[in-house]
Amino acid sequence: MAVYKGMNIGTAKPTARQRRTVPFHMVDLLDPDEPFTVADFQERAVKTIDGLLAGHRTPLIVGGTGLYIRALIDGLNIPGPAPKPELRARLEKVALEKGRSYLHGRLAQVDPITAAKLHPNDVKRVIRALEVYEQARAPMSQIIEQTRPSAPRYPDAILFGLTMDRESLYRRIEERVDEQIRAGLVEEVAGLLARGCDPNLPAIQGLGYKEIAGHLRGLCDLETAVRELKRNSRRFAKRQYTWFRADARIDWINVDNLSPSEAADILEAKLRKAGIVGQEVGQPV
């Protein structure tokens, strides 16, 4: 979501000061009404990373969403036909009229493997999987398996995961949401809607924007929207953890009671031990 201009608070985008200190990439590329798929992300990010590597720089990939990280590091082939707006609109209408669980149930009938990996509330990805099936007449899971790359794009990438006590994590999530509200998240979303951004755009359906947009459209009061945002953020964190725990390459670091600088020191020590820090030619981290 950081690729979208004007979406700063809800994405925890690096500040202007931070971006003057350290070069950030893949930020502020598009307006919120412009489409941006996993395939688009993969193509642009690979060009950026390869350019940095060619210039003897070590890129740090910070995320995020498991599918995007996998598509980037492992070179995941994006399955199925291109998005079809008419079909997507029809499926969105079905979700609205019959409910998200109904739509998820339809996916479970034609592609139980993909359905098992998606929460019914993850409407965007449920719709994409159904979109692939209806156009290709084959389950997305089958297409992924048939097109899976034989080797990772960046086989020497070093992966780290930060973890902490679950209750501590949930408390920090709730504190982060409260801070976003104080920082002006409501006003940020209101500005996007005032610019004509459709609430159904994928960008506005992102975590934080969807809940606040619902409040601004009169669907709920602010207290309810904040409560839903905290709940949805906890659920997202749980899904992230489940996804990444399945990747045996990740070196997990418990950051309970550590400051950001202390956690950075641990990461730097591990990179020095691996011979990455100080090398002339980098590799993705």
Least confident of 22-26, 48-52, 73-77, 116-120: 73-77
Q: Quick one: pLDDT at residue 249? A: 93
Q: Quick one: pLDDT at residue 221? A: 96
How many Cα neighbours within 13 Å face the side chain of 93?
Answer: 6
Domains of the chain, by residue range, sit at 16-76+151-273, 85-147
Average pLDDT, the chain: 89
Q: For domain 85-147, give the CATH number.
A: 1.10.20.140
Q: Which of 225, 209, 179 is nearest to 7 (CA)?
A: 209
pLDDT of 152 > 80? The answer is: yes
- Neighbour count for residue 199 (Cβ, 10 Å): 16
Identical topology for domains 16-76+151-273 and 85-147: no
Q: For domain 16-76+151-273, give the CATH number.
A: 3.40.50.300
Quick: pLDDT tens for 210-222.
Answer: 999 999 999 999 9
Q: Quick one: pLDDT at residue 275? A: 80
Q: State how far the Cα of 190 lies from the Cα of 201, in Å rounded to an integer.
A: 14
pLDDT of 285 > 70? The answer is: no
Q: What is the dihedral of CA 78, 83, 87, 93, to 10 degrees?
A: 90
pTM score, whole prediction: 0.76
Q: What percent of the chain has pLDDT over 70?
A: 93
Q: Is residue 267 very low, low, confident or very high in pLDDT (cuts 50, 70, 90)? A: very high
Separate counts of helices (H) and strands (E) for the chain: 13, 2
Question: Could you tell me which residue, 173 or 57, shows the higher pLDDT?
Answer: 173
